[in-house]
Structure 1
Amino acid sequence: MSHTPPQYASTGKDTRGSDTEPVSELVQRASQQLTELVRGELRLAQAEMKEKGKRYGKGGGLFGGAGLVGFLMLQAMVATAIAALAVPLPVWAAALIVTAMLGVIAAVMALTGKKQVDQAGSPTPEQTIDSVKADVAEIKGSTQR
């Protein structure tokens, strides 16, 4: 069973009075509808991102607090390691050993981080740019038909 929109008769003519709408009016109306759709989607995205932003802000603050407490814990652990080594060794030797170990760990982490950054490549979102270019070309191609 075929469904015909109520504003059109079975002859294909618009029952509002004119035979057919000019293509320019159809394009203009489609453009307006597309603009309204995009604006509505942007408003929805903005509201969603605002809500998510609040949650991310709270979560980020808690992560920051956890990082600070973790850093203080590591400082206490370093002091504990120095104190433990100071039992058989002089305090200065114990502190020097712990400092050297921390320096080696920092160097390994820095080199590994540099390697990861080098592998990441350019910071531009190249795949997204290519995708947007393809979308624009598709839209241009469909409007020229």
Structure 2
Amino acid sequence: MSHSAGASERTIGQLVADASRDLSALVRAEIALAKAEITAEVKQGAIGAGLFVGAAVFGGIGGLFLLLAFAWLLTLWLPYWAAFLIVAVLLFLVAGVLAFIGKGRISKVGKPERTIATSKQSIEAIKGHR
């Protein structure tokens, strides 16, 4: 019995080509999803980094100006060394608070959960069709 291929039947080569094309499209879609999700997370990280920069600015430049102004004021009641020490400690506290807030913002940056989930589903689907 001879079985001739009808017009609606596809060859193995065509099926493999279609599967390869579909797999490429799936990978491109996964990459696009990862880019979109990571972009949002990077924005949160950038805000946290900006807060760290703010902490550095206040810790450095602010330390110079406030140290001089407030320390000179305190020298009216305290020895010079005590006045300058108090001002320095206060400036380091401000820098520490800003760094703590910045760390909190950066720690909110999460993994691309949707991308991970859809990638796992895709891998399972590919494994199931082997």
TM-score under structure 2 normalisation? 0.46
Q: Which has the larger radius of gyration?
A: 1
Higher RCO (CA 8 Å, separation ≥ 6 residues): 2
Whichever structure has more helix as a proportion of its residues is 2
